[in-house]
């Protein structure tokens, strides 16, 4: 009988947890996808790139929603059981509250491990793949960048303008400014231009124009009847650098070794004098998930009270506030990450301290209850 009760409890919690997790994540994903659509149109991508890019951002959304879904779904399930008097039935069939707490504590550990895998492996990889998707599409879809009567500077170091575009895809009166290092630049005017393939590379072929080159104080110009403007090695601002959030967890750990043991290791955003970025990202991936067991234990505080208690609603709201406070704390604590390892150790032990405190409350309250009996 006890196994059936625990199975029912777990099934109800997990079903509502998964529904809320993927339901809310899907809604946020749709809103985010709409915002990405404007960027993609401006950046000249096609819809396959747009869909793949937005889909690869879904794991990141899930990882951010998961703490809210965990706390809300478990709290809702225990409140529903209390309202329907099902918890009383469980207690009358010999199920002890401490056994329920221990059972769901181990469930919370498994959910925590899933979140660690999600944050440490799946999210960084999906973010890296999303950026790679944009980067690999640069050459194929640059034609969409040129909008009639609009200046476009999406491509790093390049500004493009065209007065008009006909139904055959031919651009009229094109202006292109290309900025180079050391204050060098190149300006090209052309009466018309069209995109063509040469081999497997797409180039912009310009007709009847002039190019001005400035190198230091020297300015040169030449006229042309036909000129190829290559788009290879040009990148959108969206694909310029690999962010630290996209680095693998192993790379971040090696970055820490590089910082503290002075080992040679080449990683973007890994600086010996400013290790805060790597600290923060590692804590987000490996320590923040430890707040999940604390959240589930806080939701389980609802079994310590009952609807017959005059303060039931008050206790329920207090537990809600504590739970959401812990969620806010898990995010805001990352803002206190410093370059000092000793100070950061306080952030590392905070979720473990919360777990210990909540579990102690259970043990203490249940001992008092047993003494009264």
Q: What is the pLDDT of residues 280-336, one digit of tens each?
A: 788 888 888 999 999 999 999 888 877 777 788 888 889 899 999 999 988 888 777
pLDDT of residue 231: 61
Domain ranges of the chain: 2-136+242-372, 146-234
N- to C-terminal Cα separation, the chain: 24
Mean pLDDT of 138-153: 67
Residue 193 tokens read as: 């231009």
Nearest 5°: the CA angle 174, 233, 50 is: 80
Q: Which residues contact 130 (CB under 8 A, 6 or more apart)?
A: 52, 53, 56, 57
Q: Quote the percentage of the chain above a pLDDT of 90.
A: 21
Q: Quote the percentage of the chain above a pLDDT of 70.
A: 77
Q: What is the DSSP letter of 245?
A: G
Instruction: Please report the beta strands in the chain, taking only residues with DSSP state E, as ranges in sequence order.
Output: 158-165, 171-180, 184-198, 201-215, 218-230
pLDDT of residue 144: 63
44-78 pLDDT per residue, tens: 566 777 788 888 889 999 999 999 999 999 999 99
Q: How crowded is the C-beta side of 195, counted as CA atoms within 13 Å?
A: 16
Look at residues 287, 303, 285, 284 and name the one whose alpha carbon lies nearest to residue 104.
303
Q: Which residues contact 348 (CB under 8 A, 6 or more apart)?
A: 283, 287
Tell me how crowded residue 104 is: count the other CB atoms within 10 A of its CB. Answer: 23
pLDDT of residue 371: 53
Give the residue with greater pLDDT, 268 vs 80.
80
Q: Looking at the predicted structure, is the pLDDT value of residue 356 above 60?
A: yes
pLDDT of residue 273: 45
Phi, psi for residue 316 in degrees, rounded to 5: -60, -45
Q: Looking at the predicted structure, is the pLDDT value of residue 107 above 60?
A: yes
How far apart CA 206 and CA 224 sit, in angstroms, is: 9
Residue-wise DSSP of 302-337: GGGS-TTSTTHHHHHHHHHHHHHHHHHHHHHGGGG-
Q: Which residues contact 299 (CB under 8 A, 6 or more apart)?
A: 71, 74, 75, 78, 319, 323
pLDDT of residue 25: 93
Q: How many residues does the chain have?
A: 373
How far apart CA 298 and CA 71 sit, in angstroms, is: 8
Q: Which residues contact 327 (CB under 8 A, 6 or more apart)?
A: 67, 68, 71, 291, 295
| 157 neighbors 180 (Cβ within 8 angstroms) | yes
> Where is mean pLDDT largest: 158-162, 220-224, 295-299?
295-299
Look at residues 32, 45, 235, 40 and name the one whose alpha carbon lies nearest to residue 141.
45
Partners of residue 213 on adjacent β-strands: 186, 220
Give the residue with greater pLDDT, 260 vs 162.
162
> Where is mean pLDDT largest: 33-42, 73-82, 245-254?
73-82
Give residue for tokens 């923040």: 288
pLDDT of residue 76: 92
């Amino acid at each position: 009988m006890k196994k059936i009760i625990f199975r029912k409890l777990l099934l109800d919690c997990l079903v509502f947890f998964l529904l809320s997790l993927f339901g809310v994540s899907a809604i946020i994903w749709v809103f985010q996808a709409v915002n990405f659509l404007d960027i993609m149109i401006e950046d000249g991508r096609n819809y396959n790139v747009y869909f793949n890019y937005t889909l690869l951002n879904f794991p990141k959304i899930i990882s951010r929603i998961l703490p809210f879904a965990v706390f809300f779904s478990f709290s809702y399930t225990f409140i529903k059981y209390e309202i329907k008097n099902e918890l009383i039935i469980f207690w009358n069939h010999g199920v002890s509250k401490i056994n329920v707490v221990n059972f769901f504590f181990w469930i919370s550990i498994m959910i925590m491990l899933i979140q660690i895998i999600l944050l440490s492996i799946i999210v960084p990889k999906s973010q890296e793949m999303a950026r790679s998707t944009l980067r690999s599409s640069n050459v194929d879809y640059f034609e969409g960048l040129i909008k009639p009567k609009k200046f476009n500077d999406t491509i790093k170091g390049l500004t493009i303008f065209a007065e008009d575009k006909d139904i055959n895809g031919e651009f009229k009166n094109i202006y292109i400014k290309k900025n180079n290092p050391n204050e060098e630049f190149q300006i090209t005017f052309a009466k018309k231009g069209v995109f063509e393939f040469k081999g497997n590379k797409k180039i912009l072929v310009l007709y009847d124009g002039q190019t001005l080159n400035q190198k230091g104080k020297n300015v040169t110009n030449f006229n042309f009847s036909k000129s190829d403007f290559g788009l290879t090695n040009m990148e959108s601002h969206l694909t310029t650098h690999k962010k630290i959030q996209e680095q693998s967890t192993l790379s971040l750990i090696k970055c820490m070794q590089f910082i503290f043991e002075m080992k040679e290791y080449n990683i973007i955003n890994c600086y010996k004098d400013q290790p805060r970025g790597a600290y923060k990202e590692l804590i987000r991936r490996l320590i923040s998930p430890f707040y999940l067991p604390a959240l589930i234990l806080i939701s389980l505080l609802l079994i310590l009270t009952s609807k017959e208690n005059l303060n039931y609603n008050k206790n329920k709201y207090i537990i809600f506030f504590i739970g959401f406070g812990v969620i806010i704390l898990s995010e805001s604590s990352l803002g206190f990450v410093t370059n000092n390892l000793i100070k950061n150790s306080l952030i590392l032990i905070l979720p473990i301290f919360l777990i210990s405190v909540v579990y102690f409350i259970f043990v203490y309250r249940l001992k008092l209850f047993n003494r009264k009996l």
